[in-house]
Amino acid sequence: MKQAKNKFSVGDVVIVNGGMVDPDFGQEISGWIGTVEKVRHFDDAGFIHSFMYKVRWNRETLADNSVLRVSCEELGLDFETMQLTENDLSLCSSARGKKFIKHCLHLPKRKRAYSYGDFAFS
């Protein structure tokens, strides 16, 4: 059986898609930017997303979310990286990613997910 090709590679700069929340704290993470550090393939046919990506957040993302850093440290969680699926991410250099960064990141975090919806079909 032929293995599916991963959408992103190690070293790709990616942005978290709109509507995404941190699974541990429920905080919105739309617009967070980082670099793919590791790619894992799942052979389990029942698993919806066949690739999982370990993303290391960039300096700006880390600096903008210092409150979440404290919460992670209190629970012994790694704040600088996160495991996400292909559907959670877009390539930062894509037209969609660039448009999202240019238009949405200046908005308050609560409004980012709603603003991203405008780009869903562009």
Domain ranges of the chain: 13-115
- Which pLDDT band, with edges at 50, 70 and 90, does 84 fall under? very high
According to the model, what pLDDT value does residue 81 have? 93
31 CB neighbour count, 10 Å cutoff:
23
Mean pLDDT of 67-71: 82
Helix axes 95-104, 109-116, angle to 10 degrees: 140
Q: What pLDDT was estimated at residue 117?
A: 43
Give residue 69's pLDDT band: very low, low, confident or very high (50, 70, 90). confident
Helical (H) or strand (E) element with 98: helix 95-104
Q: Which of 89, 110, 100 is nearest to 16 (CA)?
A: 89
0.75 cut: is pTM over it? no
